Structure 1
Amino acid sequence: MKLPEGPKDSPRSLSRHFKTDPLGFMDAMGDRYGDIFTILGGDTPLVIVSNPQGMKQIFTSAKEIAASGKLNQGGAPLVGNNGLLMLDGLRHKHRRQLLMPPLHGNRVKTYGQRICEVADKVMNDLAIGESFYAYPTVQKITLEVILQALFGLHEGERYEQFRLLFSKLLSFARSRWLGLSLSYPFLRRDLGRWSPWGYWQNLQRQFDKLLYTEIAERREQADASRTDVLSELIFARDETGQPMTYEDMRDLFPSLLLGGQDASATAITWSLYWIHSLPAVRDRLLEELDPLGESPDPMSIVALPYLSAVCNEALRIYPTQVVTFPRLVESPIEVMGYELSPGTVVRGSIYLTHQREDLYPQPKQFKPERFLERQYSPYEFLPFGGGARRCPGEALALFEMKLVLATILSRYQLVLADEKRVEKPKAIGVNYPPASGLKMLMLDRRSGQEQPQQFVANSA
């Protein structure tokens, strides 16, 4: 077997480069080796593909290249042993299908007004004339939205308990301490709540207790009108026809929570950055939004073409998944002229695909118009992954992104606190929000078609 060319550096050096600057590492590899290259670390070669045709092969050659759950086992302590990432075959397909109805179609539409209200409530708490950091502010919005979508909760004592606990869980899930424990199994020792692993275990036990109590109460008081994910799972049957166990239900939530808050908040924050960095983009968005009035129908918002293009361009530059989930070659297969043997691991580089000059001229520049001028295939534009491991929350994420941006732009006048600062991405988990958190200033609240006042920002 002749593998594609790749770097000859030591695995430790490559790992250090990747951890220090993941996207810079990808750029360097793409510039040097092109559409396909191999990373050698130990006995298992890892082949990275960014060519759309190669990406299509990865997603459609299911018999030869399997989206094996065992390749994701390192994340089991974070997302559970029965989460979608860990499952294969019929179990994966069935449980994915259970999640789809509450996160797509008419169910998603029912969240529209709530998303706008949450965004307005969080933004309205900010003081006029004062600065704030956009990323943690948007995280407050996306956390409330995901609580509504997953658990149907938006007020009351149980809602407050979930909200406070999830804030702690999600914050610690991004921490360096948990990252070290996941990387080095010998650190996974529960030495009490003051030890990193002990603290994580304690948070998980609190989550289990809270979730199981909620499940028990809902089973006793069935409500067919509820549209959230938990209500769908409570009376669902697994692939053998048996009711879902508490553990099976629990393990489906962590990855949805992480993606629902962090990935969405990252995409919205980057959109705010580019919109307010480029006056022409902001002006064109307001020209599209203002005719809808002060309280537009959410479905009218999500249908706006330029708003959709802005969201797509933000997701192109920093997709919610930078690489596809790993796949395992199980039968010999030729990919882009290379014969890959069983045991080879293959990943698509979504980030590099989105940076291709032949698809996206001047790829580092934010140009929403490219999505109005051209239709891209699912192998050319794939911010949520593809194939069997495509993000199940894609429809909700795009819906939320459009409504949050529309609400903020329509009702508030914001500027960047430092207009000369060029924001760079920083890896937090698998997401890449602006490294600074994106400091902005709240100038005023908009009314009618009023245009924002002139303002000279400072970085104080």
Structure 2
Amino acid sequence: MPALPGSQTPFWRRAPKLILRPLDYFEDHYRRYGPVFRVGEKPLSVYVADPAVIQGIFQADAAQFHIPPQSPGSGLTFLLGEQSLLLLDGARHRRHRRLLMPPFHGDRMRTYGQVIGTLTEQVMASWQPGTAFNVRSAMQEITLRVILKAVFGLGDGDRYDRLRQLLSTLLEGLGTPFSAFFIFFPGLQKDWGPMSPWGKFVRIKAEIDALIYAEIGDRRQRPRPDSTDILSLMISARDEQGQPLSDGELHDELITLLVAGHETTASALTWALYWVHWLPAVGDRLRQELAALGPAPDPLAYASLPYLTAVCQETLRIYPVAPTTGIRIVSQPLSVAGYEFPPGAALFLNIYLVHHRDDLYPNPDSFRPERFLERQYSPYEYFPFGGGHRSCIGSAFALMEMKLVLATILRHWQLALPEGDRRPLKPVRRGLTLAPPGGLRLVPQSQTAPQPQALSLG
């Protein structure tokens, strides 16, 4: 079997381009080496953009892989905790996944539908005709309110207000290309006091942790057996031995949901609003579909609209929030679709490169939702939420939230790009993810919205 093509350039030389210009990095390697290529030597990293190989990896036994152990000082461990689902492996990963899955499926989704629409209306209430607003900031405010309400059942109070403030500050601090260096190079994590970048992060994170543990403690003392928020469901969940999640496990999963479930959806919504207003024909067709539902549709009616679904799918295709799936370390020799991967090889399934293969997506750099109405893509050709045993458990919730927020905004407001601002946007590094540049603004032109309604999530 021939050796994998690729580069043996050491990581320290590759890292600046990978961190600051990741899409150029991936595209350059793809053009030079093809859809499966290696980078580095020790450790060996392999990027995969071949659907046949991805299918074999997704369908392989989970025991074929493990994730790299995270040291206590690593950026991800410090942010999410050692017991986060994203960082667990083997039996512990399976246990947490089973316990966390129920809140994100079935009847729970209907419960969250009305909440998402109402919270979106509350944020829109501050918009004024003729006054431009920052799209990313608005989408972050919506998704943060949604995740706090869905996760904690919180909608007001001192703890809720403080969590909102701290999480926004924390994620803004992590939202620059520079912040990614703290994750890729743990040696930079130096606490030089409250004004230093890492020192500020440490102190904010400590206060967030204290608030989350306080909320867990209150819920332990005063259970809400009939509540549908995710924390209540997690506290009541039991594994096959009848054991609940500990306070530490609950904390780490909650902070993971708060960070991952809020930040990524805000990026996707910002992109969707950009494309809808950058391409007027897309926006016109989408508004026509929404208007056909009548004046007061059930919020979940949006979820089944074909063109709205296609717009969201195309948004997640053209610039996926995560350019690759999570790392998989090969545990034993693996043979897939003619490729041999040795033990210790780190596999990164490249979502961005697969989503830009012109044999799957003609004119891949063009935003064209119709492609999802014309063809059904396999989960190895389109996988914005990953796949296999490590797929995102919140994917259904995220996609529903994306549809409902986008539909609510477009039904209630006529928006436009600022006059003369027709610069095409390209993704920028935002921590471990890719996001639209932070300066995108839209101008509200006319409003047809009802007043925000009362909110409840029992």
- Judge which range, 187-196 or 373-382, deviates more: 187-196
Q: What letter corresponds to residue 387 of structure 1 in structure 2?
A: G
Instruction: Report what 1:344 is aligned to.
Output: 345
Q: SS at 1:432's partner residue?
A: strand
Q: Is the 8 A contact 1:44 1:343 kept in 2?
A: yes
Equivalent position amino acid for 1:425 in 2: P
Deviations 1:353-405 (A, max 9, x none): 10011111111111111111111111111000011221111011001100111
Contact 1:130 / 1:442 at 8 angstroms: preserved in 2?
A: yes
Residue number in structure 1 paired with 2:29: 29
Q: Is the 8 A contact 2:68 2:329 kept in 1?
A: no
The answer as to whether partners of 1:135 and 1:433 remain within 8 angstroms in 2 is no
Inter-partner Cα distance in structure 1 for 2:71 and 2:46: 17
Flag the 1:415–1:120 CA change in 2: closer, same or farther, 3 A. Answer: same
From the superposition, tell whether residues 281 and 76 of structure 1 become closer, same or farther in structure 2 (CA, over 3 Å).
Answer: same
For the residues of structure 2 that align with 1:197 and 1:25, how far apart are their CA atoms? 27
Residue 419 of structure 1 deviates from its aligned partner by 4.6
| Alignment partners' CA distance in 2, 1:177 and 1:16 | 10
Q: Which residue of 1 aligns with 2:445?
A: 443
**2:21 is the alignment partner of 1:51:** no
Quick one: structure 1 residues 171 and 147, their matched pair in 2 at CA, closer, same or farther if it must change by over 3 Å? Answer: same
Q: Percent identity?
A: 43
Pick closer, same or farther for the CA change 1:72–1:335 going to 2, 3 Å.
farther
- The aligned amino acid for 1:275 is V
Uncovered stretches (5+) of structure 1, i.e. residues with no partner: 449-460
- Cα–Cα, structure 1 residues 199 and 17, in superposed 2: closer, same or farther, change >3 Å? closer
Aligned in 2, Cα 1:63/1:443: closer, same or farther, shift over 3 Å?
Answer: closer
Question: How has the CA–CA distance of structure 1 residues 319 and 444 changed in structure 2, closer, same or farther, with 3 Å as cutoff?
Answer: same
The residue aligned with 2:226 is 225
Instruction: Tell me the CA shift for residue 52 of structure 1.
Output: 0.8
Greater shift after overlay, 427-436 or 394-403? 427-436
Q: Match for residue 130 of structure 2?
A: 129
Look up the SS of the partner of 1:253 in the other structure: helix
Corresponding position of 2:7: 7
The correspondence of residues 114-263 of structure 1 with structure 2, limited to 5 A, is: 114-175=115-176, 179-237=180-238, 241-263=242-264
- Which deviates more, 438-447 or 60-69? 60-69
Q: 1:206 to 1:11 in 2, by over 3 A?
A: closer
d(CA) in 1 for partners of 2:45, 2:285: 44
After TM superposition, the structure 1 stretch with the greater mean CA deviation from structure 2, 137-146 or 171-180, is: 171-180
Give 3-state SS (helix, strand or coil) of 1:47's partner.
Answer: strand
Q: Alpha-carbon deviation of 1:220?
A: 2.2
Shift of 1:241: 3.8
Q: 1:257: Cα distance to partner?
A: 1.7
User: Structure 2 matches for 1:54-453, cutoff 5 A?
Assistant: 54-62=53-61, 65-70=64-69, 74=74, 75-175=76-176, 179-237=180-238, 241-417=242-418, 418-446=420-448
Q: Tell me, yes or no, if the aligned pair for 1:302 and 1:403 is still in contact at 8 Å.
A: yes
Query: 1:68 touches 1:328 (CA, 8 Å); kept in 2?
Result: yes
Paired with 1:99 and 1:290, the residues of 2 have a C-alpha distance of 36
Q: How far does residue 424 in structure 1 lie from its aligned partner after superposition?
A: 1.1
- Residue 98 of structure 1 aligns to which amino acid in structure 2? L
C-alpha deviation, 1:57, in angstroms: 1.4
Task: Read off the aligned partner of 2:439 and give its amino acid letter.
Answer: G
Q: Give the Cα separation in 2 of the matches to 1:185 and 1:50.
A: 29
Name the SS for the 2:429 alignment partner.
coil
CA gap of 1:275–1:206, structure 2 versus 1, over 3 A, is same
Residue 127 (structure 1) shift? 1.7
Unaligned runs of 5+ in 2: 451-458
Whether the 8 Å contact between 2:70 and 2:77 is mirrored in structure 1 is: no
Q: Could you tell me whether the CA contact under 8 Å between 1:136 and 1:437 is conserved in 2?
A: no
Residues 52, 351 of structure 1: alpha-carbon distance in 2 compared, 3 angstrom cutoff: same
CA 1:186–1:423: 2 relative to 1, 3 Å = closer
- Two-structure CA RMSD over aligned residues (Å): 2.2
Structure 1 residues 16 and 190: CA distance shift in structure 2, 3 A: closer
Q: Relative to 1, partners in 2 of residues 1:120 and 1:89: Cα closer, same or farther, differing over 3 Å?
A: same
Q: Contact between 1:59 and 1:386, CA under 8 Å: does it hold in 2?
A: yes
Residue identity matched to 1:57: G
Aligned residues: 447
Deviates more, 1:357-366 or 1:209-218: 209-218
Letter in 2 for 1:94: R
Name the SS of the counterpart of 1:435 in structure 2.
Answer: coil
Following superposition, the deviation at residue 218 of structure 1 comes to 1.6
Q: Distance in 1 between matches of 2:347 and 2:242?
A: 34
Does structure 2 retain, via aligned residues, the 8 Å contact 1:270–1:314? yes
More moved, 130-139 vs 403-412: 130-139
The structural deviation recorded for 1:156 is 2.5
Cα distance, 1:394–1:115 mapped onto 2, change above 3 Å:
same
Deviates more, 1:169-178 or 1:347-356: 169-178
What amino acid maps onto 2:18 in structure 1?
A: F
